[in-house]
Structure 1
């Protein structure tokens, strides 16, 4: 399971309730995972992800 999938499932829930939180978490994760894809290269900020939660 990839980090992106975990973040996608967490969208709209307690720890990732909105876009602001969704932007902050990957930035913090990137500090310990230099292989993490930039959030702008994913669909994690899309309405499909944030509204489907």
Structure 2
């Protein structure tokens, strides 16, 4: 699995984390990860970092 620069793989990580939180009772209901994770900002930062190398 290559996460770097891959929104789908990055999103899977946050969805898996949320699933664990649901199963352990830390949160009560599923929320669309797009509501709290700024994937576009994370990917732009990754691209900027790669360009600066």
Q: Which has the higher helix share?
A: 2
Do the structures match in fold with TM over 0.5?
A: no
- Tell me which interval the TM-score lies in, with the shorter structure as reference length: 0.3 to 0.5
Q: TM-score, normalised by structure 1?
A: 0.38
Q: Greater Rg, structure 1 or structure 2?
A: 2
